[in-house]
């Protein structure tokens, strides 16, 4: 557990054959050729559920999101992710980590792939199984080999030829078809440029001016804050779009409800008239039989 304990001398390291090897997000990204992205606020789980299901689920289910409720694009990404990026034993329920990963891929958001892979490997540490098969065998070996790990001479590496199998669920028309939206991704709002107070004449005269005229670069903290603002603004825009879509759905359902209530009222009126007509016919028949008995003088058999 020292591998995952912050502050430990062996933090993000693994012990193999009497030696410690660096094994963390930085090494994983270096092996994959991925940049290490800064952490930004993530959308809420309720927003992710609405975005991935086209408002079929507007709140995050306690048992996890079902793959059958995903849209077509997200379902295809799920099949690719569960087979290659974040292996999943049960592809029918999606974890919150995988949902966030799919959302960022679909909307072309930056993400730290090394951190997500390490976090997925961490989930196998606390399992009580006698024998655990870790995911990413080739990736783990590649990262360790990059750090100087060498297998025994008599060990042979086995290569697996993975093939993607087309899932028949896509032909059952159970997923909302959102393929047309791939070319119309929501644009991120441009960050508002900072406005500085006008300087005095003394500040203007005393400020050093570079001869080349090059402006100094913005500090990383300012850039990080702007990324956070852009992410929050986009989350708000996604939520507003989701609310508008839900309101449109509610309006259509209200129209259907009103039409059904009118039809029920019409059928009830027809049924009431039929009951009244049958009651009148029964009354006229009974009156006719009574009159016939009084004329003949003999009671009729009932």
Q: How far apart are the first and last CA of the chain?
A: 94
- The set of long-range contacts for 230-233, using a CB threshold of 8 Å and a minimum separation of 24, is 230/188, 230/189, 230/191, 231/40, 231/41, 231/109, 232/41, 233/188, 233/189
Q: What's the predicted TM-score (pTM) here?
A: 0.56
Does the pLDDT of residue 294 top 60, yes or no?
no
- On whether the CB atoms of residues 118 and 28 are closer than 8 A, the answer is yes
pLDDT at position 164 over 80: no
For residue 51, count CB atoms less than 10 angstroms from its CB and return exposed for 0-12, middle for 13-18, buried for 19 or more.
buried
Reported as a pLDDT band with limits 50, 70 and 90, residue 184 is low
SS3 content of the chain, % helix, strand, coil (to 5): 55, 5, 45
Angle at 14 between CA 9 and CA 15, to 5 degrees: 95
CB–CB of 102/81 below 8 Å? yes
The mean per-residue pLDDT over the stretch 118-144 comes to 79
The 3-state DSSP class for residue 294 equals helix
Q: What tokens appear for 28 in the block?
A: 């994983």
Across the range 22-42, mean pLDDT stands at 83
Residue 190 tokens read as 């441009």
Distance of alpha carbon 188 from alpha carbon 237, whole angstroms: 9
Contact 43, 238 (CB under 8 A): yes
Residues in the chain, overall count: 302
What torsion do the CA atoms of 44, 90, 102, 248 make, to the nearest 10 degrees? -60
What is the percent of the chain where pLDDT is above 90?
4
144-156 average pLDDT score:
84
Q: Are 111 and 104 in contact (CB under 8 A)?
A: yes
Side-chain-side CA neighbours of residue 87 (13 Å) = 13
265 pLDDT band (50/70/90 cuts)?
A: very high
- Amino acid 89: pLDDT: 66
Confidence of residue 264 (pLDDT cuts 50, 70, 90): very high
Most distant pair of Cα atoms in the chain: their distance: 133
CA atoms of 221 and 228, how far apart (whole Å): 11
Local confidence band at 195 (pLDDT 50, 70, 90 cut-offs): very low
pLDDT for 190 equals 45
Name which residue leads in pLDDT, 178 or 166.
178
**Mean pLDDT to the nearest integer, 225-243:** 73
Element counts in the chain: helices (H) and strands (E): 8, 4
Mean per-residue pLDDT over the chain, rounded? 75
pLDDT score of 165: 57
Q: Which is higher by pLDDT, 112 or 225? A: 112
- The conformation of residue 164, written as its DSSP 8-state character, comes to P
How is residue 157 written in tokens?
């590496």
């Amino acid at each position: 557990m020292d591998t995952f304990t912050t502050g430990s001398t062996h933090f993000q390291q693994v012990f193999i054959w009497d030696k410690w090897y660096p094994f963390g997000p930085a090494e994983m990204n270096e092996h994959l050729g991925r940049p290490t992205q800064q952490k930004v606020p993530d959308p809420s789980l309720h927003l992710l559920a609405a975005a991935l299901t086209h408002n079929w689920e507007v709140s995050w289910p306690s048992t996890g999101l079902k793959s059958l409720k995903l849209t077509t694009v997200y379902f295809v990404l799920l099949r690719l992710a569960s087979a290659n990026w974040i292996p999943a034993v049960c592809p029918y329920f999606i974890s919150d980590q995988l949902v966030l990963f799919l959302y960022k891929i679909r909307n072309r958001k930056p993400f730290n792939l090394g951190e997500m892979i390490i976090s997925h490997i961490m989930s196998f540490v606390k399992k009580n199984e006698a024998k655990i098969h870790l995911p990413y065998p080739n990736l783990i070996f590649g990262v360790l080999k990059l750090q100087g790990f060498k297998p025994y001479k008599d060990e042979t590496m086995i290569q697996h030829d993975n093939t993607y199998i087309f899932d028949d669920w896509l032909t059952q028309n159970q997923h909302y078809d959102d393929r047309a939206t791939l070319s119309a991704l929501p644009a991120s709002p441009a960050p508002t440029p900072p406005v500085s107070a006008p300087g005095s004449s003394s500040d203007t005269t005393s400020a050093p001016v570079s001869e080349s005229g090059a402006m100094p670069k913005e500090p990383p903290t300012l850039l990080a804050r702007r990324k956070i603002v852009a992410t929050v603004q986009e989350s708000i825009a996604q939520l507003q779009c989701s609310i508008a879509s839900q309101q449109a759905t509610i309006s259509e359902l209200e129209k259907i409800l009103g039409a059904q209530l009118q039809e029920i009222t019409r059928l009830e009126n027809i049924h009431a008239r039929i009951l009244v007509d049958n009651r009148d016919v029964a009354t006229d028949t009974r009156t006719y039989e009574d009159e016939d008995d009084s004329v003949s003088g003999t009671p009729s058999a009932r």
